[in-house]
Amino acid sequence: MAEAVSCDSNAHKLLSVEDARARLLETAAPLDGAETLPLIDCLGRTLAVDVIAESPTPPADNSAMDGYAFRAKELREGEGLPLSQRIPAGHAPSPLKPGTAARIYTGAVIPDGADTVVMQERCRENEGQVFVDGPVKVGDNIRRAGEDIAAGDTVLSAGQRLRPQDIGVAAGSGRDALSVRRRPVVAILSTGDELVQPGQPLGPAQIYNSNESMLTGLLSSMGCEVLPAWRVEDTADATRNALNEAAAQADLIISSGGVSVGDEDHVKAAVQALGSLDLWRIAVKPGKPVAFGHVNHQDRKVAFLGLPGNPVSLFVTFLLFGAPLLRHLQGRDRIVPAPVLLPANFERPKPGKREEYLRVRVEDGRLQTYPHQGSGVLSSASWADGLARVPAGETVALGDSVEYFGFDKLSEQ
């Protein structure tokens, strides 16, 4: 586990995003447990066991199109071949009689003795014979047995997220069920006496709780089982009680706010009392303090992730740290999405001291920034379709290539 440090002793040391993420993933272990589900229920889940093909795909040579099958060497220019059989898909053919052709349809098994298929558009029938226009080549339009998948091939690998095409590959290999990792169960601690639930009237000095709904949506989009949120009063006892209750049910606890150094930030002290906590100040904008540790519950150590309370800071730090952590807990093989390089339609003439993630939108193939990048401007995240990364100490001029991370990839399960 990474060495635990206090916020005060670490105040002058800022971790890079990459280093902080590495510490986070080194500390957390993938969740135990898998379940076998019907194939259609596996969409979006993480495969727990390799899928090995027991038979080839396709299982036999078959026709790639509607046409006629014959032996290429028996075709004579200007002469026809008698038709000896008709072969629809799903019907077993008889061996092809020498000197004849078979009418064949897409997907139908090639009869023994045939070595070529010519599409019907190049053929014509007349009085029980088929005539072929133009030259032919042995093997034309035949899909060979096993050319897609050979028996014994690993067709799907443990750790990959199952997409519709992966479900199709599994079905094509004869599987009707798969072993998948269980969903992480996540508890949300929503802290702050100033927060009011949407739909309720606002009192003096109160704001609506946007973080809870946003965090629930992010977690749901990543395939988590999200427990009803704990709305925690700003007291030490309420915070400890909520953490104990959440630890009894969850694999991961995520707090919104409460891990800074203010007098009313009780989460930090409560987690330290019930388990352990690392508090990292990260060289990232927006979002600087991120906490990670665990809460002890009986013989389990339940992972804890503390995110900033500012809405944009929470949103960005979840994508940078929370989403990779959840992929890691699910045993995913790809933890951090790769960026796409796109030209900037904006300028950053002054280098920043921290790595910055700007809310941007792709317009005509170029990155356009939202005009207000403050950490409380959540509308910037709604307007944007991704984040542009500007490394610390670097500037951006119009047309420069900038790393772009789409929200769809950052929040993908």
- Residue pair 302/251 in contact (Cβ under 8 Å)? The answer is yes
User: In this model, does residue 212 exceed pLDDT 70?
Assistant: yes
Domain ranges of the chain: 17-33+182-329, 36-56+147-181, 62-143, 340-410
Q: What is the mean pLDDT of residues 60-82?
A: 95
- Residue pair 64/106 in contact (Cβ under 8 Å)? The answer is yes
Q: Compute and round to an integer the Cα radius of gyration of the chain.
A: 30
CATH second-level architecture of 36-56+147-181?
A: Alpha-Beta Complex (3.90)
User: In this model, does residue 260 exceed pLDDT 70?
Assistant: no
First to last CA, the chain: 25
pLDDT digits (tens, 9 = 90+) for 168-204: 999 999 999 999 999 999 999 988 778 878 888 888 8
Q: What is the mean pLDDT of residues 110-138?
A: 95
pLDDT digits (tens, 9 = 90+) for 309-366: 889 999 999 999 999 999 999 999 899 999 999 999 999 999 999 999 999 999 999 9
Place 301 in a pLDDT band, splitting at 50, 70 and 90: very high
Q: How far is CA 197 from CA 192, 201, 206, 208, 381, in A?
A: 12, 9, 10, 6, 21
Report the CATH number of the 62-143 domain. 2.170.190.11
Domains 17-33+182-329 and 62-143 share a fold: no
Q: How far is CA 158 from CA 52, 57, 162, 177, 181, in A?
A: 11, 21, 10, 14, 9
pLDDT at 413: 81
Place 261 in a pLDDT band, splitting at 50, 70 and 90: low
The answer regarding whether domain 17-33+182-329 maps to CATH 3.40.720.10 reads no
Q: What is the mean pLDDT of residues 29-40?
A: 94
Superfamily designation of domain 340-410: MoeA, C-terminal, domain IV (2.40.340.10)
pTM of the predicted model as reported, rounded to 2 decimal places: 0.84
